[in-house]
Each structure stands twice: as C-alpha cells, then as structure tokens.
Amino acid sequence: MAQTPQPPAPGTPGTPAPGTPAPGTAPAPGTSAQALGTPPPPAQVFPPVDPSKFKLIGQNYQTQDLMAKVTGKARYAEDYRAEGMLFCKLMLSPRPHARILSIDASRALAMPGVHAVLTADDLPAPPPPAGPPPAAGSVPSAAAAGGVAPTAPQQQAANAQRAANAPAAGPGAVGAPGTPPSAAAVPPAQQTPQTPPIPGEFALAKEAMYEGEPILAVAADSEELAAAAIEAIRVTFAPLDFVIDPLDGLRPGGPNGRTEGNVFVGGEVKTIKWTAAQFDELAAGRFPQDAEHGDLTSWGNVEQGFKEADLIVEHIHYQQSTVHQPLETRSAMAYWQNGKLYLHGSTQSVARTVAAVAGWVGIPQKDVVIISEYTGGGFGSKIPGAQTMAIPALLSKKLNGRPVMMRITREEETYIGRTRPGFQAWAKMGFKKDGRVTAVDTFIIEDSGPYRRQGDNAQAANLSTLLYTAPNARFRGLSVATNTPPRTSQRAPGGLQSAILFEPLVNKAAKQLGLDQVEIRKINAPVNGSTFGLNPPAQANRPRPKITSSYLKEALDRGAALFNWEERKQRNGQRIGTKVTGVAVSQSTFTAGSTGVDGLFVIKPDGKMYIHQGIGNLGTHSVIDTARVIAEVLEFPWEQCVVVWGNTSQGVAWSSIQAGSQTTHAHTRANYAAAMAGKKTLQELAAAEMGGNADAYRVGGSGVSGPGGSLTWAQAAERAIARGGKFDGHEVPADLNAMTKASAAALAGLGVMGVARDGYPRDGQTYGFVAGFAEVEVDVETGVYRVVDYVGVADVGTVVNPRSLAAQIFGGAIQGMSHVRSQKMVYDTHYGVAIGKRMYQNKPPTILDQSVDMKWEAVNIPDPGNPVVGAKGIGEPGIGVGGAVVLCALANAIGDDLLKRTPVQPEHIVTALREGRVTYEPLTAYI
Amino acid sequence: MPVIRDVMPAFELFQPTSIADTLGLLDRHENSWIMAGGLDSFDWLKDRIKRPEVVIDLGGVAELRGIREADGGVEIGANTTLTEVAGHPVVKDKFKLLAEAAGIVASPQIRNQGSLGGNVAQDTRCHYYRAGWPCYRAGGNICYADTPTAVNREHAILEADRCVAVSPSDTAPALIALDAQMVVRNGDGERVIPARDFFIGPWLDITRMTMLERGDLLVSIRIPGTFAGKPHYFEKVRDRQVWDFPLVNVASTMPTNGNTIEDARIVIGGVAARPLRLVAVEDAIRGRARNEETANLAAEIATQGAAPLRHNAYKIPLMQNLVKRAIRGEGQWTS
C-alpha cells in the first residue's frame, strides 16, 4: 500500500526530488485541447457499463490517507513549520463600509520583533477584466461559463463550478482560474465589454465593504506580538452608507451597499428602489408583483401555464445566509526560495490553485508551488484556495523569502470564509389534477454581499425546471449588494435553496390534490434526455440543454420501499401527548460531472504504479477513489499503487476543480483514458520486446504476457526506460493540458507512462439526484423537534466507493437539515456588524443532533454520459433534499403556511401554533 | 484602538494547589482572573476584552473537586466537572434534577471540562456584551440589545433594568429549586449564600451576575436533603439539542401528597438576568391538585409583568408552557 506523499521539508524547497517537473515549464491551466488545435478523437462505440464486472470500483476499501488522518500524522497548512518562520495577524475592518483614508503603522513597526506591515498598496495590480459576471438565466447554460468577474480566480472557479456542464465552453477551458474563459461561451447579448468593471475584492481592502474585511497584515516574531502591533496601528476611516438586510437597500430612500448603487444587474451595479406601496404590500404578506427586478428569464408561457392549472399554490419564504464553516480555516504558510513561491495552503483543488495564486501574488505560474495534502473541508469556499493566501506570500516576499505563517482564527474565518447567499423569495406553482406541474413562477431577492452577483437565485429557478420538468417557468431576480461577507458557491449553490423553496409547495399541492407525495414527484420527474433551463428574453427560443440521465423515479421507488412509505405516511399529524409526527419525502438535484481533464501514471522499476493526481484532498476520498480506475483497467494490484497528490512540485495531472460535484465523473473518465493509453503502451512494449502482435498481449496480474513471453511490471518499467520515446513518457499526446505535459516531461524516463486526456463523448449535461424520506417529531408546546430517521437514495450512476458515497449522502443531508434547523448569521442592522461569530452562536450541526437511524442506498444504474465507468458526482445533489424533507415533514406535522423562514426555530412553531398564523417577521434578515 | 479578537494576550499564570494559596493570590493581585474549566474565561481572554495581568487556574486545587454526602444532602466542590455531577450515583439518586440539568449543559466535551461552579458563576451570553460593546453591563451607558433594531430573541422578558441580558446557566435553576447554598470564601473568611440570593439582577449591580465580588472564591455548593428523592422536573428549550444555551429552561421540585402539591419550587432560566424563582406561582399551587387546571393557573401567573422586546415575545408562551409541564411532571407529556 502506498504511503502518504512527503512534500519537501520546508527550508529545503530548492532541492526537488528526481522527476519533479521544472517549474519553469509550468503550463497555462485552462488551455483546452481545442485551443491546442487537436482534432477530437474518432467516434467510439461503448458497450453499456456493467458495474458488477468491476473488481475495485464499487468496493469498500481503506483510503491511503486514512491512517494519517486518524493518527494525527496528516499535516494541514497550519501544521507546517520552517526555520525563522514569522507569524502574521490581520487587522479587520471594524466598519461595515468605509474608505480607508490613512494608515499610520509607525508605532507598530518600531516594536522590537515586528518585521513588516502589508497593506492594499503592496498588492499586485489586478489582471485585466475578462468579461461580465454571469447573467441571470445563464445557469446552467453556456453563458455561466463565460461569467468572469474581475475579482478573478475565486470567482472564476465559482463560475466554473456552476458551469461544470456548460457545453459551449469546451472541456478544459471552463473557468480555469487566472485565465480568461472562452469568450465564445458568452452569448453576444450578455457581453458588455464597454461596461467598466465593478471594483472587485482583493486580499486587503482600501475601501472596506464589510465588517471583518482584512485591511492590513503584520508579520512579527509571534502572533501575540503581531496582535499587539495591530493594536498600535492608527487607521482613519471615512464611513460610507451600508446595507445589511437586502430589503433595506430596496426601500424608498434606503441606503446603497455600494457607492455605485444597490443591485448587481449583469455586469453592472444599478440602483433599484421599490415604492412605499410595494413595501406596504410586502408588509401585508403579499409579494409585490409589480416590483422592479434586475434579472428575467423564462421558458414557455407562464401565464398560460397557470391558466391550465387546476391548483395554484404559492408562498413567501426567507432563507438565511450561512457561512461555509469548514473545520479547517484558511490558514496558509509561505516562503520563497530561488525565486519561487512555496505555499502551504488549504485548497479544494490543487492543480487549479496554481494559476489562482499566481494571479493573487502577481507572479508567473511557473514560479508557484502549491502544497496542500490535506484540506479540512471547503464546501465551495476554497475552490482554488483563498485570496488571503496571498498575504503571507507577499509578506514573505517583502522579507526576502522568510517564511510567514498566517493562522486564520474561527472569528476571522466567519468573516472571510465565504457565505451562501440568503433569499427573500416568492414562488408559485401550478398543477393539473393528476399532479403534473404546469408552471413555476419565482421572484427571488438574493443577498449578494458586497462584491458581485452570486446567481444562486437564478440557479434555484433553473433547477426547478429540471426537477419538475416544468413546461412553463419564469424567474425574476434581484441581486442586492449588502455589506456582509462575500458570497460564493456553497455546496449546491442555488440547489439547496431551490429544494427548500419549492418542495414545500409540491408537498402542499399533493395534499390539496389528494395525491400521494411520491407519485406527484414521480409524475414530474426528469428522465434520460430531459431538457430544462430558462432563457433571457433576447434568446427566448434558445435550445435548452438536456441531461445525460435521471433515475430519480427509481430512487423515489427504492426510497419508498426502504422507508416503508405507504405505511408510515398514515402517521402524518398523529399526536401523542404534546408530540406530533410528520413524515415526508423530498428530492433534490445538482450538477454532477465535467469532462476533458487528464490522467497520468507511471509504473516504475520498483514494480509500483504511481498515480499522479491534481485533485485536492478535501475529505471526499475522490483523490484516491478515482485513481483506482487505473488499477481496475490494468488489473494492477491495488496494494502496489501509490497515489501522489497534494504537491505540485511532484508532478500532477491537470484536473477539474473539486467543486460542482465534477471530480468523480471527470476523473474516472480521465483516469480510464490514461489507463487505456498505458495499456496500449504496455502491449506495444511487450510486442517490441518479445515479438508478435501487440493486441495479443494481455495486461494484468503480475505484468504483461503474450505469445512472446511475459514481463513483470518492474521489468516492463526497465524496458520502457531503455526504449524511451512513447514508452517512458518522452513522447506524450499533443492534446494534453500544458500542466500535464510539464508533469509528464519531469516524470519521463522513470518507467512506463500512461497519460491521456479524457476525450470520451458525453451527450448532454450530467446531473445527480437524491430522493429522501424522513420522519420528524414536533413538540407543540416547546417548538422543539427532532428528526427521527432519514432514508436517502441516490441516482449517481455507478457506485465507486460505497463508504464515500454514504458519507456524502448522509453528510449532504445533515448539512441541508442544519440549514433548516439551526445554522444562521446574526447581524445588528443598525450598526452593520455581526453579533454571532462563534459556532455556539451561528449553530452549525453537531453529530449528536443527528438521527442515529439514517439509511442510504444508490440505484447504481450507470450514467450513459460517462460511457467508460458510468459514475456521476454526489457531493451536492443530496444536500437540498435533507433540508426540504425536514421542512415538508414539519409542515405535515403542524400544518402548511406556518413556516415561512429558515432556520425553523422553536419560537416559530410555538407562536404559529398558538396564534394559528405567522406572527414572527417572515422576511427580516439576520435575526 | 483597532480591535483584534481571537488572539490571547500574555498573562502571568498561577496554578495554586490549595484554597488558601488561591485566596492569597487573589489578595496579592488586584487585576487577576479566576479560571476553572476555562469555557467562559477563554472567550473573554482570547477576545482581549478582559485583560487580566494574572490568571489563577484552579485545576490543581484538589479541595475544590469532588462530591461528598453530608447531612442527608451533598456538598459538591465548585470545580467538580459537570460530567462528574451528572454521573454521580448519589446525585442521580437523590437529586436527579441537578443530574439532569448538569447532563444537558452544552456538549459532552464542554461538560468534561466545565465545572459546576463555572456553570453557575458564568457571565451572560448577550452577544452585544460578549462582543465587547460598551454597554451598561460593561460600564457604559446604553443597552444595545434593547433598541428597535436590535436582535434580542434570546434576551429578557422579565426584571429588565437597563440591561436585558439573561442568565445562561442550566444548573442554576436546578440549584435554586433544590434550596442549595453557595459556600464562598475570601480573605475575611467564609460565608454561605442561599442559591436563591446568589444570583442577582441589574438593579443590584449591573456589572455582575452573582454575589461574588473581587477576592471571593466559590468553593462548594451544598444541597440539603430537603428535596432528596422528591418529584422534580427539568426541561431546556434550545435551538440545537447539543452545544447550546437555553432559550428558556425550567427546574422544579414538587413534593406531593397523593395528587396534592405540598410544596413547590419552580425556577425559570433564560428570561431574566437571574434565574427566576416563581414564588407567586408556588404560593398559588401549594395545596392544589397536580392537574391541568392548576397548570393553567400557574402559567397565567408565571408571566405576569412580562415585557417582551421585538424578537422575544415567544418567551411568554414558551415560559407558560414550561411552567405547565413542570406542574404536570415527567411522563405526563412525552410520547
């Protein structure tokens, strides 16, 4: 079994191991095969994938990083130390919005042991803007792929997460951090190059846009000294207007969150205010239908759809913003040696972090080495690491390369650790008597934070057209600028909110129509090839994308059987003492795969296979799971496989970002391609060495054997090195990404190399689905409720690692449940500052709050869109269902229309039941 | 001065091994801080809001730990962990009310570290005050939680006096309901304060939650045998069922003769700066049947005078329901 990769010890970074790619030849990530001019591969015919024939795929096993994690040997960014290392601390803005007029650090710099202060003036100039941010309705269409805000890498990666499926962007070109996406991916109508870019986010701010935004950093001998130095620095601020609750920014005469305006529309900041009459309407519990929106997309004719409906249900609903809260904060340590930056960071995606860091630090990608073996979660907040990783890097640069450690505290993480946008929303659905959805209409105000439109609201609406195959749909949206922490994608961005917004309406409709909750979902469920999405008015008839597969109906059926739905649904509303039971079913979906990345491995003379993964290790196991595909195809002993990951100086393959649930799909394909290439190389090597037809040689077991004899793996490696050329990696396919080419060049001559780009076809976009069932027990006198049990059944194609899959199905459900049950942010809107910065205040879930009775299953039907393995991603499809099923079960227990906000806190239940109506403030943000 | 949080400044650490040494240290160091389990302390210290020069860690004082039977009751060292209290056979047998209250504090990890003394002596969790805002309780002249725009769902509905912060303790209501006595020592000697009087409202001192003053050390808590084995009730309503402070909690003891309530202690936490013993309710129900009618009567009386803030009116029905449940007793309502 392989060992945990050992990165070079800090302090000796200039002596790379043999085979390390010369960083000087580092590639430009994001360069697609098409961009290189390589013709697409010839059409291939793929027999259906049969999961039962796999020997490794689909089996439980012990991942190679497990022992290090459970023994504490695993080193996270904060665990590294280097000789002479300094510590830095951040000064955070105490104001929600203020221009920084002056900084006087003289007293701090005079303190013994204080070495440097870094301010916004020390940051490199931003790269030129590449285009407008994503436009409404562009998700999941091609437009999202082109949406790149000038804030660069983090946002580009976030866009890439949404655009995992974007067909027009081209494989490998989607949202590569630091590189402009294909302009062709942006529909002409949405390209507004004449618009000046919106001032974006930097690692340190000159105009603080939210309380807690970093404005300077101090490097000192100790954290204690750095903190004391920060207290000695004088900063003068010019306070500016601020907005915390998005609705306050829309009020007549209300303040604007940005000096340019209060809403993000396309690539611009505009000013939109609603009228007093519209706010009166809202106060009366009705969403003002004539209120101005910023975004509009539709499909079909929503008015006609409602005319055809036999039943119309609607509601107003608030969903809170939530901090990502990975257990590992975004700490980073950096030093420079021989002109290169060595950055120990916390990132979701290792290969994709190189360009991001290069952009943030202002250096060529070839001068960046990223070390990130273990990442304690990210949930979308560390897709290419974090912009603040530039701070220790630039401080170190200022100090001639002296190592600088930046440990981010929990409080700092709450501010800078990214946030899911909250919704103040209205939704309406029309149904035929048989349960078929005729129309979906929405108006969603999105709390966008200070820097840009996030677009979760558009995504939520889009996903409703997929989950309910709605023939008519409309989305109106407003992305309001608020002076609260920056938004980015959080696990199923828009997908979680979509399930929570729409599923209670379906739940209510089924009851009013007298239909079974499972049946109403099945009748509307997407199937293989279903189309979905919403278009902007100028492109109303643009063809909609289709999905590769959906076995949601099968998942619903299987879940109903596992949960014993038919019997248990009778218990809805049953009261014993003060406790009432609610049972429910829900469902959710999200993107689940991308294509076009690379796989790379070397079989060395020691008889071992070294699989070089550019994937980050954020706790999902995909970095190891997808490597097993190579061993599966080559029938290579898994115990002899070494997965190399977490250090770009060791040579990594160009990878997808570890977001958008792309990785399992993308890298089972890419590694399958590498395996097939390696298999062919081994066969040709054997034929060249021993004679005969290459095809007559069999690869597997102890090596390669055929008519001329056999070679062990070790012997094959030696012969390959002797022959050189295509056998040992000196010649590689032209369509590889430049990063993979550089890695291959550095690893060439070490053994038999298998390297290839995923050129396999995919007809449609990849989405995963989860059906969930739950029972809740509500105490009507205290409002306390508990989830009795949960069953989740996933449609994620071929199961790759059952244990990992279980963790994702349960983990996603728990995160979704926590969104409904407790997690939140609390702000004083008058002062504009956070008053709940600790975990006991913002209340993420604890394991002891979960039901001990949770079951899972997968339908395990291969996705035809992944013709070689059949796997789809699971990270995100299963989060929305966890929240929605609890919300539906609560409604089934206590009645509809009483729960209009999340998290559902005891007071909402107690007061609503006592008064028979909602007396709490349904739409007020940040309570 | 710019604000930086979550970085503990340096202080001189003392780790005495006796109460006498502890009191000596308290006497010698004006700007000192007593630390038991550290759960309240570390927040203050890390946030640089309380900045003592000296921290006195009670962890090495064996006299402050342990549970002893005495006169039909028990005496519990102030630095005994909540886990020990919750799991102690005598406490579980005679004073299950306290075992239940201690066993529901926060989370297992916090109960392993946190002490009974710390749980009763802890400061309020008002998020404005804890964030270092210069409010009345912090020596200023405003309450940030009592404004039209404040977030105050967790704040007081009763006994507010400028400050609307509430007592966050789960064990304090239980101790009051058990007629416990707090044993306090300082350089001048020992005094014993009834638990009911130990917790104070802002009218007495807006900067303190208890009778403890500088130089005082809570050394033990005595629980008399009065309510040993008597019917009791404890319930805590919170957002998360683990690792959360109470929105409202209730602790009661209720000796009965048949179905008649002979005597009662009903104490509510989370609604005022101190745990409120509902004496008027106790007087009203004494001698009555333990039934729904009495429960309704008690609920009616319990919240008289309540003055809710913008976001905490729910505490009125919640408190009423908890009082009802205390009177109905355990097993009367659960499924």
Residue pair A499/A565 in contact by the 8 Å Cβ criterion: no
Tokens standing for residue B125: 């969790």
Q: Would you say residue B174 has pLDDT above 70? A: yes
The mean pLDDT value for B315-330 works out to 95
Q: Would you say residue A31 has pLDDT above 50? A: no
pLDDT-derived band of residue A199, with 50, 70 and 90 as boundaries? confident
Which of A139-143, B60-64, B266-270, B312-316 is predicted least confidently? A139-143
| Chain B partners within 8 Å of A576 (Cβ) | 335
Which of A149-153, A563-567, B315-319 is predicted least confidently? A149-153
CB contact under 8 Å between A849 and B2, yes or no, is: no
| Chain A partners within 8 Å of B108 (Cβ) | 848
CB proximity B192 to A under 8 Å: no
Q: Would you say residue A135 has pLDDT above 50? A: no
CB contact under 8 Å between B322 and A578, yes or no, is: no
pLDDT reported for residue B3:
87
Residue pair A349/A357 in contact by the 8 Å Cβ criterion: no
Q: Would you say residue A238 has pLDDT above 90? A: yes
pLDDT reported for residue A159:
53
Q: Would you say residue A35 has pLDDT above 60? A: no
The mean pLDDT value for B18-24 works out to 98
The predicted-structure confidence for A649-706, as pLDDT tens digits, reads as follows 999 999 999 999 999 999 999 999 999 999 999 999 999 999 999 999 999 999 999 9
The predicted-structure confidence for A733-790, as pLDDT tens digits, reads as follows 999 999 999 999 999 999 999 999 999 999 999 999 999 999 999 999 999 999 999 9
Cis peptide before A403 (omega within 30 of 0): no
Q: Tell me how close the Cα of B185 comes to any Cα of chain A, in angstroms.
A: 32
Residues near B26 by beta carbon (within 8 Å), at least 6 away in sequence: B32, B34, B56, B186, B187, B214, B215, B217
The predicted-structure confidence for A295-326, as pLDDT tens digits, reads as follows 999 999 999 999 999 999 999 999 999 999 99
CA distance linking residue A679 with residue A47, whole number of Å: 19
| Chain B partners within 8 Å of A786 (Cβ) | 241
| Chain A partners within 8 Å of B242 (Cβ) | 846, 848-849
Half-sphere exposure (Cβ direction) of B292: Cα atoms closer than 13 Å: 3
The number of angstroms, rounded, from the C-alpha of B90 to the middle of its chain's C-alpha atoms is 21
- Cα distances from A815 to residues A323, A330, A379, A886, in angstroms, run 12, 20, 10, 12
Q: Taking the CB of residue A188, how many other CB atoms lie within 10 A of it?
A: 9
pLDDT reported for residue A41:
53
Q: Would you say residue A166 has pLDDT above 70? A: no
pLDDT reported for residue A43:
65
Q: Would you say residue A11 has pLDDT above 60? A: no
The mean pLDDT value for A532-550 works out to 96
Q: Would you say residue A607 has pLDDT above 70? A: yes
- Residue identified by tokens 């620095």 is A233
More confident residue, A158 or B286: B286
CB proximity B328 to A under 8 Å: no
CB proximity B307 to A under 8 Å: no
The predicted-structure confidence for A456-465, as pLDDT tens digits, reads as follows 999 999 999 9
CB contact under 8 Å between A786 and B241, yes or no, is: yes
pLDDT-derived band of residue A127, with 50, 70 and 90 as boundaries? low
CB contact under 8 Å between B318 and A578, yes or no, is: no
The mean pLDDT of chain B is 96
Q: Tell me how close the Cα of A906 comes to any Cα of chain B, in angstroms.
A: 7
Q: Would you say residue B276 has pLDDT above 70? A: yes
Residue pair A27/A354 in contact by the 8 Å Cβ criterion: no
Q: Mind giving me the DSSP string for A558-610?
A: HHHHHHTHHHHGGGTT-EETTEEEEEEEEEEEEE------EEEEEE-TTS-EE
| Chain B partners within 8 Å of A784 (Cβ) | 237-238, 241
The predicted-structure confidence for A901-910, as pLDDT tens digits, reads as follows 999 999 999 9
Residue A204's H or E segment, with its range, is none
pLDDT reported for residue A128:
54
The residue ranges of DSSP E strands in A713-760, in sequence order, are 752-757
| Chain B partners within 8 Å of A233 (Cβ) | 2
Name the closest residue on chain A to residue B147, using Cα atoms: A830
The mean pLDDT value for A517-530 works out to 98
Name the closest residue on chain B to residue A214, using Cα atoms: B4
CB proximity B39 to A under 8 Å: no
CB contact under 8 Å between B237 and A905, yes or no, is: no
CB contact under 8 Å between B153 and A903, yes or no, is: no
Mutation target among B1, B3, B4 for the A interface, most CBs of A within 10 A: B4
Q: Would you say residue A873 has pLDDT above 50? A: yes
Radius of gyration of chain B (CA): 20
**Residue contacts between A and B (CB atoms, under 8 Å):** 138
The predicted-structure confidence for A615-630, as pLDDT tens digits, reads as follows 999 999 999 999 999 9
CA distance linking residue B138 with residue B5, whole number of Å: 17
Of B129, B270, B153, the C-alpha closest to B207 is B129
CB contact under 8 Å between A835 and B128, yes or no, is: yes
* Backbone phi, psi, residue B109, to 5°: -60, -40
Radius of gyration of chain A (CA): 27
- Cα distances from A620 to residues A78, A376, A434, A593, A775, in angstroms, run 20, 10, 41, 15, 28
Amino acid (1-letter code) at residue A129: P
| Chain B partners within 8 Å of A821 (Cβ) | 239-240
pLDDT-derived band of residue B8, with 50, 70 and 90 as boundaries? very high
Q: Tell me how close the Cα of A333 comes to any Cα of chain B, in angstroms.
A: 18
pLDDT reported for residue A709:
98
Q: Would you say residue A558 has pLDDT above 60? A: yes
- Cα distances from A430 to residues A278, A310, A468, A472, in angstroms, run 24, 7, 11, 10
CB proximity B71 to A under 8 Å: no
Of B136, B138, B124, B227, the C-alpha closest to B176 is B227
Which among B4, B108, B335 has CB closest to A576?
B335
CB contact under 8 Å between B151 and A409, yes or no, is: no
The predicted-structure confidence for A403-459, as pLDDT tens digits, reads as follows 999 999 999 999 999 999 999 999 999 999 999 999 999 999 999 999 999 999 999
pLDDT reported for residue A160:
52
* Bridge partners, residue A264, by sequence: A269, A479
pLDDT reported for residue A498:
98
pLDDT-derived band of residue A351, with 50, 70 and 90 as boundaries? very high
The predicted-structure confidence for A367-394, as pLDDT tens digits, reads as follows 999 999 999 999 999 999 999 999 999 9
- Residue identified by tokens 């975990």 is A839
Q: Mind giving me the DSSP string for A844-878?
A: ---GGGS-S-EEEEE--PPPTTSTTT-B---TTTT
Q: Would you say residue A155 has pLDDT above 70? A: no
Of A396, A229, A436, A423, the C-alpha closest to A316 is A423
- Residue identified by tokens 């919106």 is A198
Quickly list H helices, A35-178: 66-71, 106-109, 143-146, 153-162
CB contact under 8 Å between A845 and B9, yes or no, is: no
Q: Tell me how close the Cα of B62 comes to any Cα of chain A, in angstroms.
A: 31
CA distance linking residue A597 with residue B284, whole number of Å: 76
CB contact under 8 Å between B239 and A843, yes or no, is: yes
Q: Tell me how close the Cα of B65 comes to any Cα of chain A, in angstroms.
A: 27
- What is the tally of helices (H) and strands (E) in chain B? 13, 14
pLDDT-derived band of residue A42, with 50, 70 and 90 as boundaries? low
Q: Taking the CB of residue A308, how many other CB atoms lie within 10 A of it?
A: 16
Mutation target among B112, B314, B322, B328 for the A interface, most CBs of A within 10 A: B314
Q: Is B24 helix (H, G, I), strand (E, B) or coil?
A: helix
Which among B107, B312, B324 has CB closest to A848?
B107
Residue pair A267/A195 in contact by the 8 Å Cβ criterion: yes
pLDDT-derived band of residue A566, with 50, 70 and 90 as boundaries? very high
Prediction pTM value: 0.92
| Chain A partners within 8 Å of B239 (Cβ) | 821-822, 843, 903, 905-906
The mean pLDDT value for A810-818 works out to 98
Q: How many degrees, rounded to 5, is the angle at CA A838 between CA A836 and CA A844?
A: 95
Q: Would you say residue B243 has pLDDT above 90? A: yes
Residue pair A703/A727 in contact by the 8 Å Cβ criterion: no
CB proximity B240 to A under 8 Å: yes
CB proximity B331 to A under 8 Å: no
Residue A118's H or E segment, with its range, is strand A114-119
The mean pLDDT of chain A is 90
Cis peptide before A537 (omega within 30 of 0): no
| Chain A partners within 8 Å of B312 (Cβ) | 907
CB contact under 8 Å between B43 and A838, yes or no, is: yes
A70 by Cβ neighbours in 10 Å (0-12 / 13-18 / 19+) ranks as exposed
Across the beta sheet with A609-612, the strand order is: A641-644, A609-612, A598-603, A752-757
CB contact under 8 Å between B147 and A830, yes or no, is: yes
